[in-house]
Structure 1
Amino acid sequence: MAIYAYRCPHCSEIDVTFPIGTAPAAIPCPDCGAASVRAFSAPMLARTPAAMSTQLQRAERSASEPEVVTSLPRRHAGGAVAAHPATSRLPRP
């Protein structure tokens, strides 16, 4: 489904959803009944980088299903985990 914009000569702009390629050239205005012609605009296309998309999906999931932390993160090859007050409450392995 795609959102198409129509402009009524008496009212304002109207957004209507139609399957792609099936939008008529004019529709009746839902408020006044006048013929509203289709207004052409730039499509809202964007490509989100994969890393950003993954983080956005993770943040969206955590709103209703937060991740439960049961242990400290693994130590990196370069040294110990940075000391942070929040990590002091975590169980020790």
Structure 2
Amino acid sequence: MAVYAYRCPHCSAIEVAFPIGTAPAAVPCPGCGASSARTFSAPMLTRTPAALSAQSRRAERSASEPEVVTSLPRRRAPGPVAAHPAARRLPRP
């Protein structure tokens, strides 16, 4: 069952459950009996996991206002040195 939104011209918004694909264009308002037209809205975007939502907001913010770094990242212990001399000039993590 899917929940469909309808708006009564006299009362307020109404939510009615119908099987998917069977919702009519209008239903009678349970309060006043007037014909309520179906409204379309975005799907339930609030059900996004909190961690994913926070990461998305952070990425959007950093596009225009990058975060300020207050300290340098820790350096790892140097790994094995490459045998090829050109590889020695490459940056290391």
Radius of gyration: which is bigger?
A: 2
